């Protein structure tokens, strides 16, 4: 049952419909984060979800007979999440009330893990990350009563350079020097819009529900890396997911012979985000590409030699606050590359490299080894070096309060007036814009 409110906005005669549809998500799907499991456990386990009888507890998961994990709510989500869909030039923005997700998405603040759980008549299916090095997935074999066998497996590693340093002219010093006495927020929550290309959309069968759960699960494990930063404390905030259904909709992607030119696409992607109306503001926009990335060789051909690309220190700078990373669904390994590129956006250079510009601390004092997230080839301990932490702290001061200020009130109608492409009509506020259990859609077409 859909309740439709149609708006006709003169003089452009832009016709928009706001659609409230009861959510079909009341199924037994859960994404959770649990404590790291020791690799000494058997490869095959039978997880069981234990419901909580207390309002103060989120329940737990028994992974093995002697391993029970208490769950906490996911912190990557806010009150709302936008899902932006584009197909053949038509753009749709859906405002999701994340209450249903927050009841399904869990984490453990001390250890890194992220799962999707599906309840079935014969037990639960758990799929995702046990920690930074091991994953878990259900086995399609005979089940024993009430419990489904799962395999624990080591996460593979993608070969190749994570990225290459961009030209120096990309790092323009356009802001005043940060004040030494600038009071930083206790927790920095960079707002991000995650975008998936048509290849990932196809790989995940175009099913929106699967894609949303997949992205939340992925960004939870990325966020677990950033939550290791001490000063400032960093907790990524997912505000939107943007899906390209066809290659025609992602015209900014420079592709030849199935390979994406990373640096040229990054430039074009930045211009795309600058001229596109999003459902809400983000501090950075990040594209997940289901195709290999590369740079041009001396013959002008694209060599697939990188795993990502981003403009260093460009957080909150419209048009250049963008990054790209290879993402291969169900490979469970690209979260490290994503964290690396977001680290660039937040102000980090490669370990061992000099400053971005005068005054920037750089990372020359942190030459590898050991290997950290911002190393050319990152790996354990899956943390940022001291140099990277100082660089991100500097960039937070450098960009100032306009960048890291957290919005205290969010109004659906005020935001969607820009999405509709018409900014001057009467701004109507409504405290009832968010209705529990409903998904809002803004559909816009040009009237004849």
Q: Is 350 annotated as a binding residue?
A: yes
Q: Is 41 annotated as a binding residue?
A: no
Is the Cβ–Cβ distance between 136 and 144 less than 8 Å?
A: no
Tokens of 442: 């803004």
Choose, from 125, 250, 341, 393, the residue flagged as catalytic: 341
Q: Is 79 a catalytic residue?
A: no
Q: Is 169 annotated as a binding residue?
A: no
Q: Which residues are catalytically annotated?
A: 341
Give the annotated binding-site residues: 340, 344, 350
Give the annotated binding-site residues for Zn(2+): 340, 344, 350
């Amino acid at each position: 049952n859909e309740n439709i409110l149609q708006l006709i906005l003169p003089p452009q005669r832009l016709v928009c419909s706001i659609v409230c549809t009861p959510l079909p998500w009341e199924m037994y799907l859960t994404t959770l984060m649990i404590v790291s499991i020791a690799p000494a456990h058997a490869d095959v386990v039978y997880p069981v979800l234990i419901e909580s009888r207390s309002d103060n507890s989120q329940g737990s998961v028994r992974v093995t007979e002697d391993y029970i994990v208490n769950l906490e709510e996911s912190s990557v989500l806010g009150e709302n999440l936008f899902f932006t869909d584009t197909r053949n030039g038509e753009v749709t923005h859906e405002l999701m009330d994340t209450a249903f997700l927050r009841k399904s998405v869990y984490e453990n603040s001390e250890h890194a893990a992220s799962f999707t759980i599906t309840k079935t008549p014969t037990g639960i299916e758990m799929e995702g990350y046990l920690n930074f090095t091991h994953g878990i997935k259900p086995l399609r074999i005979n089940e024993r009563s009430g419990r489904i066998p799962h395999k624990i497996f080591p996460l593979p590693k993608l070969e190749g350079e994570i990225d290459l340093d961009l030209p120096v002219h990309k790092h323009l010093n356009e802001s005043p020097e940060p004040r030494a006495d600038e009071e930083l927020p206790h927790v920095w929550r960079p707002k991000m819009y995650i975008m998936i290309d048509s290849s990932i959309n196809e790989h995940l069968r175009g099913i929106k529900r699967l894609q949303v759960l997949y992205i939340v699960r992925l960004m939870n494990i990325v966020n677990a890396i950033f939550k290791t930063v001490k000063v400032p404390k960093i907790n990524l905030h997912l505000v939107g997911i943007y899906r390209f259904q066809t290659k025609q909709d992602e015209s900014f992607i420079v592709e030849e012979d199935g390979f994406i030119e990373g640096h040229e696409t990054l430039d074009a992607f930045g211009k795309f985000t600058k001229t596109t109306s999003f459902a809400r503001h983000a501090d950075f926009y990040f594209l997940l590409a289901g195709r290999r990335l590369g740079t041009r060789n001396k013959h002008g051909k694209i060599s697939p030699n990188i795993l990502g690309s981003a403009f260093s220190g460009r957080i909150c700078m419209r048009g250049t606050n963008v990054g790209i990373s290879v993402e291969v669904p169900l490979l469970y390994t690209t979260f490290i590359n994503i964290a690396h590129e977001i680290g660039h956006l937040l102000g980090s250079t490669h370990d061992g490299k000099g400053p971005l510009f005068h005054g920037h601390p750089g990372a020359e004092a942190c030459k590898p080894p050991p290997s950290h997230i911002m190393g050319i080839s990152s790996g354990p301990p899956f943390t940022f070096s001291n140099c990277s932490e100082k660089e991100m702290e500097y960039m937070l001061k450098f960009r100032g309060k306009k960048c890291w200020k957290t919005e205290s009130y969010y109004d659906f109608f005020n935001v969607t007036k820009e999405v509709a492409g018409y900014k001057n009509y009467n701004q109507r506020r409504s405290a009832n814009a968010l209705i529990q259990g409903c998904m809002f859609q803004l559909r816009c077409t040009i009237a004849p």
